[in-house]
Structure 1
Amino acid sequence: MYFPTAGIECNPLLPFGVALGISFFTSMGGISGAFLLLPFHMSVLGYVNPSVSATNQFFNVLACPPGVWRYWREGRLVWPLTLTVAAGTLPGVFLGALIRINWLPDPSDFKIFAGLVLLYVGGRMAITTWKARRNKAENMHPQAATDKDSTCRQTAMSCCHVLEWNTRSLVFVFQEKEHRVSTHRLALLSLVVGLVGGIYGIGGGAIMAPFLVSFFALPVYAVAGATLFATFLTSVAGVSFYFMLAPFYPGMAVAPDWRMGILVGLGGMCGMYLGARCQKYVPATALKCLLAAILLFTAIRYLGQGF
């Protein structure tokens, strides 16, 4: 199949299958997987013109809703958390785009800084997860550990109940445990994540989900839906921005390749739904390891590009 805007030809099953596989695993941690799909487009398919970023974001627009819907249906979409993250992320996306155009035409220095930050967060999450796993193994009888893992998987299916949401704090209960987070700090973090996402054109969930789990100590089962929804909103804004810019650059491919976008989007829809449905059966430790691995991969990639 030929893709006119991308200027490439490939078997349509290849991008569909890759998008499905990536989104299946990343959606369990609240990440769309678009930042992993971008290197596949550029390095494997040879899709390197500017429209690849818009196509990648269009993938998010189609792929995220099934995962979000599944989390909402199971009562694990914390709407106050979702709306706070989205409210902070959206302005950051537009500000990030302006910063990229006017002040960071060559952002290699900032990529080094971002890579170091992500390396610290990913390393911190990996170390704390490993220590917690080791302590649990040392202090628990094997049969008791098996029983508790089974119990955790069952309680992972419980719904989230919001107790308080105002300009100061957000409090909700999940798995019989109360979680409290500062609304101001959450909105500020979302703004920073939106800035980074706007500058580099990546899904904010790739950064937001690990921060919520690592620094705010929120359960990965409860944040996944919120970060996916925020990624969906920022991607809609990004695609719209690229589409509006396209007429001003008639000699350059800026708008998405709709044929490629629909193809990978359909694969992402299937993977997102299946990943969101299977997440509750995967131990939280495994999901944290997945997030840490994704963060470390992104950090190394940024540092490699920066240097």
Structure 2
Amino acid sequence: MYFPTAGIECSPLVPFAAALGVSFFTSMGGVSGAFLLLPFQMSVLGYTNPSVSATNQFFNVLACPAGVWRYWREGRLLWPLTLMVALGTLPGVFAGTLIRINLLPDPRHFKIFAGLVLLYVALKMLRDITRRRQANIASIAPRRDRPHGSACRVLSWNSRLLTFCFQEQEYRIACRGIALLSLVVGLVGGVYGIGGGAIMAPFLVSFFGLPVHAVAGASLFATLLTSVAGVVFYSLLAPLYSGLAVAPDWRLGLLLGLGGMAGMYLGARCQKHVPGTVLKYALAGILLFTAARYLGQAL
């Protein structure tokens, strides 16, 4: 099958299977997997023009609802946090889109940026795993503290502070800090072509001290909203750049999205049978390998 916007030809089963496999593993950690699919499109499929970022965001639009629905049914979708993250990331997504089109159209320059982003996410993931293992050694959590089936309850929310309860513990978040972080994450996500959940979730857990099972739903839903905005913005800008492929490749994005939907559903069903630490180590290894390859090719 030929994909005109991407300028590539491959079997339709290849992008579908890749998205299914990636989403199956990443959905268990509360992220869509777009941060891994972009390297796949660039390195394996040879899709390197700026529209690959828009296509990657279109994947999020189709794939994320399955994961969001799961978190909503479990009562772990914090709507105030979701709204703050979404409103903060939207301006960043718009700015990141302009940067991608005007400053990083060259695949070599973009690979440097993408490699640095992937390297950061991988190191952050390994650091969080190490800290969590040390915490588990120091104290063994009782059965009632396990995250499965636990719901989040908002206690108060105003322009300065969000307070919520999760697993009988109270958490407080400074709204201004969330807004600033969301703006930076949106900027990076707009350039890279992801909603930002893979970057936002580690920050919320590490810097704000929030439980990953409480923020995963908000992060994924914000990824969905910002990806919709990103796809719309890329599409509106496309007529202004007639000599450059900017709009998504809808056919390729549809195949990736359908694979992502199936992968997220299966990942949600199988999550309890796979140790989270094993999955995170595997993802971190893939990220480190891809980052090293990108930086090696570009530098």
Shorter-chain TM-score: what band? 0.7 to 0.9
Is 1:35 the counterpart of 2:27 in the alignment? no
Alignment of 1:35-54 (within 5 A): 35-54=35-54
Note closer, same or farther for the CA distance 1:262–1:120 as it changes in structure 2 (3 Å cut).
closer
The one-letter code of the counterpart of 2:49 is N
- Whether the aligned pair in 2 keeps the contact of 1:116 and 1:303 (CA below 8 Å) is no
Number of equivalenced pairs: 296
How far is the alpha carbon of 1:17 from its aligned partner?
Answer: 1.3
The SS at the match of 2:164 is: strand
Is 1:264 the counterpart of 2:256 in the alignment? yes
Aligned to 1:63: 63
How far is the alpha carbon of 1:114 from its aligned partner?
Answer: 5.4
- Whether the aligned pair in 2 keeps the contact of 1:123 and 1:296 (CA below 8 Å) is no
The one-letter code of the counterpart of 2:2 is Y
The one-letter code of the counterpart of 2:178 is L
Segments of 5+ residues of structure 2 without an aligned counterpart are none
* 1:175 corresponds to which of 150, 167, 173: 167
Is 1:185 the counterpart of 2:188 in the alignment? no
How far is the alpha carbon of 1:35 from its aligned partner?
Answer: 1.8
- Whether the aligned pair in 2 keeps the contact of 1:27 and 1:275 (CA below 8 Å) is yes
The one-letter code of the counterpart of 1:25 is F
Q: TM-score, normalised by structure 1?
A: 0.83
The SS at the match of 2:216 is: helix
How far is the alpha carbon of 1:248 from its aligned partner?
Answer: 2.4
Aligned to 2:188: 196
How far is the alpha carbon of 1:104 from its aligned partner?
Answer: 6.8
* More displaced stretch, 70-79 vs 195-204: 195-204
The SS at the match of 1:164 is: strand
Give me the whole-angstrom Cα distance separating, in 1, the residues matched to 2:297 and 2:158: 41
Greater Rg by CA: 1
Give me the whole-angstrom Cα distance separating, in 1, the residues matched to 2:278 and 2:55: 30
Segments of 5+ residues of structure 1 without an aligned counterpart are none
Note closer, same or farther for the CA distance 1:38–1:103 as it changes in structure 2 (3 Å cut).
closer
Note closer, same or farther for the CA distance 1:103–1:260 as it changes in structure 2 (3 Å cut).
closer
Note closer, same or farther for the CA distance 1:285–1:43 as it changes in structure 2 (3 Å cut).
closer
Note closer, same or farther for the CA distance 1:93–1:73 as it changes in structure 2 (3 Å cut).
same
* 1:205 corresponds to which of 197, 201, 208: 197
Note closer, same or farther for the CA distance 1:270–1:77 as it changes in structure 2 (3 Å cut).
same
CA RMSD of aligned residues (A): 3.0
Give me the whole-angstrom Cα distance separating, in 2, the residues matched to 1:119 and 1:17: 23
Aligned to 1:163: 155
Give me the whole-angstrom Cα distance separating, in 1, the residues matched to 2:43 and 2:115: 22
- Whether the aligned pair in 1 keeps the contact of 2:122 and 2:285 (CA below 8 Å) is no
Aligned to 2:74: 74
* More displaced stretch, 226-235 vs 278-287: 278-287
Note closer, same or farther for the CA distance 1:278–1:72 as it changes in structure 2 (3 Å cut).
farther
Give me the whole-angstrom Cα distance separating, in 2, the residues matched to 1:164 and 1:286: 36
Give me the whole-angstrom Cα distance separating, in 2, the residues matched to 1:211 and 1:294: 20
Q: Deviations over 1:163-213 (max 9, x none)?
A: 111112111111222222211111111111111112333330111011111
Note closer, same or farther for the CA distance 1:119–1:93 as it changes in structure 2 (3 Å cut).
same
Note closer, same or farther for the CA distance 1:194–1:218 as it changes in structure 2 (3 Å cut).
same
Q: TM-score, normalised by structure 2?
A: 0.85
Is 1:128 the counterpart of 2:136 in the alignment? no
- Whether the aligned pair in 1 keeps the contact of 2:53 and 2:192 (CA below 8 Å) is no
How far is the alpha carbon of 1:62 from its aligned partner?
Answer: 0.5
Aligned to 1:89: 89
The one-letter code of the counterpart of 2:210 is L
Q: Deviations over 1:244-289 (max 9, x none)?
A: 1222233433221211111110111111233344446656655765
How far is the alpha carbon of 1:111 from its aligned partner?
Answer: 6.7
Aligned to 2:17: 17
Q: Deviations over 1:35-54 (max 9, x none)?
A: 21112112222223332221
Give me the whole-angstrom Cα distance separating, in 1, the residues matched to 2:176 and 2:272: 30
Aligned to 2:236: 244
Give me the whole-angstrom Cα distance separating, in 1, the residues matched to 2:7 and 2:46: 9
The SS at the match of 2:246 is: coil
How far is the alpha carbon of 1:306 from its aligned partner?
Answer: 6.6
Note closer, same or farther for the CA distance 1:281–1:177 as it changes in structure 2 (3 Å cut).
farther
How far is the alpha carbon of 1:107 from its aligned partner?
Answer: 6.8
